[in-house]
């Protein structure tokens, strides 16, 4: 689903005064972010992402592909097997088939090195501290060794044995190199067509993208076996030391893959955000406050980097928040930010798939942040104290109608009773506020399912989940770290903040394409035209009633009977609504009359 033109049903249209708060393009000060070197790096990414592949670029893709590296790895294993069969520790001449196999393997290795040099240039040999040059020397030396074995000089001498031992250690070295290259190819497969940072001169090939000169999106810096298909933490740390030493801060949105912060000198700020969910509103506010403080220390040099597991959903939500806050050109509204991030993160030379924010609730929160910033006139050029949390906005949930949502409701009704669970977030803890009785049979089969939410009161970040009751009951408590939507029995769910609802109609309408999990329907389980409607009551937290004006007082002159006007002894102010009562009291005393 395209990120452009997304319409968010839960949010009100921005009021005219909110739009007026958005800074006009000529009001925004020029904010220089990143050095000239960094700017050219960002421009290079934008230029290459939308251009056709050149011959050298196509050759680069071919050489590092999983297919070529897989073949090379198999050849390395074959070379080791052939060498062991040849018994390198004796002086007997090799059999002819072993010689032929060895020659074929060495020639293929030579061709692979030549292809790499053509694709990446001679600089390729010097990357990784010269290991690739050593690789080329070892292959060339192996070819020379094969030739020496055929000469009279080598026959009957210890030279033959030495050359075979050299071949054995060469094969072990090749095995190491092949495993490294195969891991790099696996990372490219895992990263799909996300824009990568490739720098032959410095030996970088990372799933990392400059969204702007001072904003980086990347996948998790991985440790252990995860490094086989994610960014190795050592390489990520080397990247920041090389280009942004002492001028970077990383925002970690991936609690499911913890890693040490020491390689980054502690410049990491963790956020505990479940995969396939948006950061709660408090996290988004904290992120803006912290990033603003950090960037303001050195606006021309400091950069912020955001990552989750794959560097797309949770990462994109924070990146779009920052784009809105900084009012990056072309990113003045939420829809444009979502499109800008997706286009920047995607390498469209390999696929037309956009690597942007997909999960509907994450998009919903980007829309909410857009509304919040506009209402508070809170942007990078305004005082930092303008960053304010939204009101908690307590609401009372009345019912949830699932209307024509399932493609085959009769099948659902026969297989599983359905239950709704409502949760409220307190920082990082989701507390269950309601578990409805499970519905089944005719309550489900007609396609119009109505759940009584029993006047449940919630506020702030709220999650509503529809479960297969039996699967949920059988699985028991959900373990921490499970991807949202993968909890046992989850059919679909949506997350919202209560301050950003439609308080005119008191309904939240969530169509299928904006429902988490259901929007990616690969099995035809959900009806594309279905909608879920949640009804609630509550007061619009943004509409503060104006105080009633103070009543204007009237004056009563108090006199003591037939006395000259000069003998008036005082004036008492009485509110207008009390005039009649005051006049009666004074008349009864015979000492007062209203002033003219």
> Which of the residues are catalytic?
308
Q: How far apart are CA 64 and CA 350, in angstroms?
A: 14
Backbone angles phi, psi at 223, to 5 degrees: -125, 165
Backbone angles phi, psi at 150, to 5 degrees: -90, -5
Q: Are the CB atoms for 168 and 145 separated by under 8 Å?
A: no
Buried b (16+ CB within 10 A) or exposed e, 218-251: bbbbbbeebbebbbbbebbbbbbeebbeebbbbb
Q: Are the CB atoms for 202 and 186 separated by under 8 Å?
A: no
Token pair of 488 as six digits: 């046992």
Q: Cβ atoms within 10 A of the Cβ of 194, count?
A: 23
Token pair of 395 as six digits: 């609401």
Q: Which residues pair with 395 in a beta bridge?
A: 458
Q: Give 69-136 as a DSSP string.
A: HHHHHHHHHHHHHHHHHT-TTS-SPPPHHHHHHHHHHHHHHHHHHHHHHHHH-GGGGGHHHHHHHHHH
507-511/303-307 β-pairing = unpaired
Q: Are the CB atoms for 218 and 237 separated by under 8 Å?
A: no
CA-based nearest residue to 417, from 465, 517, 489: 489
SS3 35: coil
Q: How far apart are CA 528 and CA 511, in angstroms?
A: 8
Q: How far apart are CA 382 and CA 386, in angstroms?
A: 7
- Which own/partner pairs from 177-180 qualify as long-range (CB within 8 Å, at least 24 positions apart)? 177/131, 177/135, 178/69, 178/72, 178/73, 178/76, 179/73
């Amino acid at each position: 689903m395209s990120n452009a033109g997304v319409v968010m049903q839960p949010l009100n249209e921005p009021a005219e005064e909110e739009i007026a708060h958005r800074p006009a393009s000529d009001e925004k000060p020029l904010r220089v972010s990143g050095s000239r070197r960094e700017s050219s790096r960002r421009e290079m990414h934008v230029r290459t992402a939308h251009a056709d592949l050149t011959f050298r670029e196509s050759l680069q893709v071919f050489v590092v592909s999983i297919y070529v590296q897989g073949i090379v790895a198999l050849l390395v294993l074959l070379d080791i097997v052939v060498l062991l069969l040849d018994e390198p520790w004796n002086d007997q001449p090799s059999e002819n088939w072993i010689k032929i196999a060895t020659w074929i393997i060495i020639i293929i290795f030579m061709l692979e090195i030549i292809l790499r040099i053509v694709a990446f240039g001679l600089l390729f040999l010097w990357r990784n501290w010269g290991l690739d040059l050593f690789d080329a020397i070892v292959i060339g030396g192996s070819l020379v060794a094969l030739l020496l074995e055929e000469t009279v000089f080598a026959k009957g001498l210890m030279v033959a044995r030495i050359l075979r031992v050299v071949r054995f250690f060469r094969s072990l070295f090749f095995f190491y190199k092949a495993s490294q290259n195969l891991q790099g190819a696996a990372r490219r497969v895992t990263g799909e067509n996300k824009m990568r940072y490739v720098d032959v001169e410095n030996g970088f090939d990372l799933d990392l993208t400059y969204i702007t000169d001072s904003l980086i999106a990347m996948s998790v810096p991985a440790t252990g076996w995860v490094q086989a298909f994610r960014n190795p933490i050592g390489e990520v740390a080397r990247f920041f030391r090389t280009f942004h030493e002492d001028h970077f801060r990383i925002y970690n949105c991936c609690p499911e893959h913890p890693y040490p912060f020491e390689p980054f000198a502690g410049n990491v700020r963790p956020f505990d955000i479940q995969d396939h969910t948006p950061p709660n509103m408090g996290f988004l506010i904290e992120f803006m406050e912290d990033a603003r403080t950090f960037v303001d220390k050195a606006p021309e040099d400091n950069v912020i980097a955001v990552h989750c597991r794959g560097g797309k959903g949770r990462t994109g939500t924070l990146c779009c928040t920052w784009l809105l806050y900084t009012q990056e050109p072309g990113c003045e509204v939420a829809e444009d930010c979502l499109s800008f991030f997706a286009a920047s993160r995607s390498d469209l030379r390999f696929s037309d798939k956009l690597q942007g924010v997909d999960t509907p609730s994450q998009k919903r929160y980007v829309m909410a942040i857009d509304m919040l910033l506009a209402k508070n006139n809170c942007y990078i050029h305004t005082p930092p104290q303008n960053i304010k949390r939204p009101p908690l906005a307590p609401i009372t949930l009345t019912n949830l109608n699932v209307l024509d949502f399932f493609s085959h409701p009769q099948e659902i009704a026969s297989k599983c009773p359905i239950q709704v669970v409502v949760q409220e977030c307190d920082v990082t803890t989701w507390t269950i506020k309601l578990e409805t009785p499970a519905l089944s049979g005719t309550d489900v089969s007609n396609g119009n399912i109505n759940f009584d939410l029993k006047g449940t009161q919630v506020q702030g970040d709220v999650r509503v989940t529809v479960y297969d009751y039996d699967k949920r009951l059988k699985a028991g408590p959900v373990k921490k770290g499970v991807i949202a939507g993968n909890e046992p029995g989850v059919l679909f769910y949506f997350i919202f903040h209560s301050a950003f609802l439609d308080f005119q109609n008191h309904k939240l309408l969530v169509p299928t394409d904006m429902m988490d999990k259901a929007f990616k329907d690969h099995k035809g389980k959900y009806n594309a035209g279905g909608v879920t409607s949640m009804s609630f009551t509550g007061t619009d937290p943004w509409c503060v009633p104006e105080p009633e004006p103070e009543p204007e007082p009237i004056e009563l002159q108090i006199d003591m009977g037939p006395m000259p006007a000069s003998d008036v002894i005082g004036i008492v102010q009485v509110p207008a609504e009390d005039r009649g009562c005051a006049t009666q009291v004074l008349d009864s005393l015979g000492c007062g009359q209203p002033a003219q």
